[in-house]
Amino acid sequence: MAELDAERTPGGAVLMDGNRLRDELVAELRHRIADLGNPHVCLATVLVGDDKPSQIYIRNKRKKAEEAGMVSRHVELGAEASQAEVEEAVRDLAGDPDVHGILVQLPLPDGLDAEPVLDLIPPEKDVDGLTERSMGRLVRGRDGHVPCTPLGVMRLMERYGVETSGKKAVVIGRSTLVGLPQVLLLGRKGCDATPVLAHSRSGDLAALCRDADIIVAAVGVAGLVTADFVKPGAAVLDVGISRTADGIQGDVDFDAVESIAGAITPMPGGTGPMTIGCLMENTFNAARMLGALPG
């Protein structure tokens, strides 16, 4: 299933290391940009308010952009910023030819509506892949940016040799951020899996998953996926994050599942880092789409 240099869990499953693959992607982008003569490639981030996790996420994204040889531009607004002020900041970035990718850190503070803010981002600069135009392009198979987390899941499976063609995949969770685009990516031509979208009303969820070759858990229920959910040898990718009294936990009971699965992501260190890695990939592609890099 996996490349020979892959680390394995104590139970023998291939450990799909998101930290390692993210750093590989960032290093590859740095070399590609250097080979092109270090052209200006700019990722702009927008942070509104003083939410601590959001500050950490933005700091990590800016750091990786700089490691990839990109320019990191940051706009920060206080929690008291009005809807009009946030929209004006994003509108300015959208109209700036020196900015190739725009990321608005969500959620916005209470009282602010994210949708009209996201609507201001041109699809070519929507490196988070979250606007309705980017989602429409994904559905239609047109050139555009794929949401970073589901794209990261696909990159992990590619890197660690998880077969998808003709395989049954169950995606737990139907959010527009992960679940829905994940199903589209798994089912499109070239991947050729047979995806099933599961959710809280899917009936016997364990039985549904137990028949799958690939499980992507993205519902935000700590420890939901237990050993009873997993067919021996299946690939299990954990996207869900829950903050519990015991700390951050994923949707997958790792200790119970790793001896059954053929490949599994850790939490943390699995799909989360890949979200940032794929943001860098999208930003590079945005610069290409906007003519700042060769096609």
Does pTM surpass 0.85?
Answer: yes
Pairing of strands 71-77, 42-48: parallel
Matching fold, domains 38-122 and 148-272: yes
What was the pLDDT predicted at 243? 83
> What are 19's two structure tokens?
């930290």
- Which CATH class name applies to 38-122? alpha beta
> What are 229's two structure tokens?
């959910």
Among residues 64, 125, 126, 128, which one is catalytic?
128
Active site residue 61: yes
Active site residue 128: yes
Instruction: Give start and end residues of each alpha helix (H) in the chain.
Output: 18-35, 52-67, 83-94, 114-118, 132-140, 148-159, 179-187, 205-210, 254-257, 271-289
Per-residue pLDDT 10s for the chain (295 aa) are 445 478 999 999 999 999 999 999 999 999 999 999 999 999 999 999 999 989 999 999 999 999 999 999 999 999 999 999 999 999 999 999 999 999 999 999 999 999 999 999 999 999 999 999 999 999 998 999 999 999 999 999 999 999 999 999 999 999 999 999 999 999 999 999 999 999 988 989 999 999 999 999 999 999 999 999 999 999 999 999 998 887 889 999 999 999 999 999 999 999 999 999 999 999 999 999 999 998 7
Q: Comparing C-alpha atoms, which of 188, 60, 184, 46 is closest to residue 126?
A: 46
What are 126's strand-pairing partners?
102
CATH topology for 148-272 is Rossmann fold (3.40.50)
Q: How far is Cα 14 from Cα 155, in angstroms, rounded to an integer?
A: 15
Active site residue 105: yes
Domain ranges within the chain, ordered by starting residue: 38-122, 148-272
Among residues 17, 105, 125, 168, which one is catalytic?
105
For residue 243, the Cα-to-chain-centroid distance in whole angstroms is: 19
Among residues 61, 125, 167, 168, which one is catalytic?
61
Q: What are phi and psi of 249, to 5 degrees?
A: -130, 155
> What are 195's two structure tokens?
């995806």
